[in-house]
């Protein structure tokens, strides 16, 4: 069986990959009651792609602060389009301005045009380890038809810029930041695997093989430089 990756925006794209398939049930992944920190839930928001007043799709993202700078971290494919991006802040839609798009690594940083009120802004702390295999991770987002949800999983493959997490993800989860138990950010949820075989030519969604793009090189100096360049018009 060959594998592809399915980007978990509410509009979907595929590209090549090869993955492990350790079984994790939806019930196991969505049972995160033992998690002591509420960082994933409290900092997560629903990002809408809008053409006028029409919603074209949605993804997820998390709200952080690094020093005096406040920003949202999400997947690049959620906001790489010619339309406006907004985040749902209570009853209000707040427009988002991208200040960083890394299409190769599928990472994006955005700034809301006004401070968010209903979404908690958490300190940007990053776990920079490359030895995370077997560790439990958590993320919250807005998967299709489920609303605001918290999931957990464990790392089955780890490298400098990417890790594979055995968990559960559905369209709309793209851009959710993955955290360790102590609320440190690890990376951004990007895709799940899709398998195709000669026996069954129809794509088989492997929602349990969750791909995470790591952010270990994102630090305060990097964030400060992004804001400095944005303010001077150098993007």
pLDDT digits (tens, 9 = 90+) for 17-35: 444 434 445 555 555 554 4
Q: Give the architecture (CATH level 2) of 40-123.
A: Beta Barrel (2.40)
Q: Which uninterrupted H or E stretch holds 74? A: strand 69-74
Residue matched to tokens 């958490």: 122
Q: Enumerate the CATH 2.40.10.10 domain ranges in the chain, comma separated.
A: 2-14+21-37+125-214, 40-123
Average pLDDT, the chain: 83
Residue matched to tokens 């997490």: 165
Q: What pTM value is reported for the model?
A: 0.84
Tally Cβ neighbours within 10 Å of residue 136: 16
Task: Say which CATH class 2-14+21-37+125-214 falls into.
Answer: mainly beta
pLDDT of residue 204: 53
Which is more confident, 204 or 118? 118
Which is more confident, 85 or 199? 85
**pLDDT at 200 > cutoff 70:** no
**pLDDT at 84 > cutoff 80:** yes
Tally Cβ neighbours within 10 Å of residue 172: 25
CA distance 214 to 216: 6
CA distance 90 to 107: 25
pLDDT of residue 25: 53
CB 57 within 8 A of CB 9: yes
């Amino acid at each position: 069986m060959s594998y592809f990756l399915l980007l978990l925006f509410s509009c979907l794209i595929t590209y090549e990959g090869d993955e492990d398939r350790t079984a994790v049930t939806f019930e196991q992944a969505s049972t995160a009651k033992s998690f002591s920190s509420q960082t994933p839930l409290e900092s997560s928001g629903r990002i809408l792609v809008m053409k006028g007043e029409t919603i074209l799709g949605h993804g997820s993202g998390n709200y952080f602060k690094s020093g005096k700078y406040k920003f949202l971290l999400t997947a690049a494919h959620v906001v790489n389009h010619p339309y406006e991006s907004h985040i749902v802040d209570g009853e209000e839609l707040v427009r988002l301005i991208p200040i960083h798009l890394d299409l190769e690594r599928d990472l994006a940083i955005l700034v809301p045009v006004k401070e968010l009120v209903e979404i908690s802004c958490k300190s940007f702390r990053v776990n920079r380890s490359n030895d995370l295999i077997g560790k439990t991770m958590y993320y919250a987002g807005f998967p299709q038809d489920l609303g605001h949800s918290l999931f957990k999983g464990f790392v089955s493959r780890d490298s400098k810029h990417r890790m594979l997490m055995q968990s559960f993800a559905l369209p709309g989860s793209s851009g959710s930041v993955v955290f360790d138990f102590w609320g440190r950010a690890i990376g951004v949820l990007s895709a799940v695997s899709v398998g195709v075989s000669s026996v069954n030519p129809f794509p088989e969604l492997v929602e349990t093989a969750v791909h995470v793009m790591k952010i270990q090189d994102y630090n305060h100096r990097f964030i400060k430089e992004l804001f400095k360049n944005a303010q001077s018009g150098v993007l």
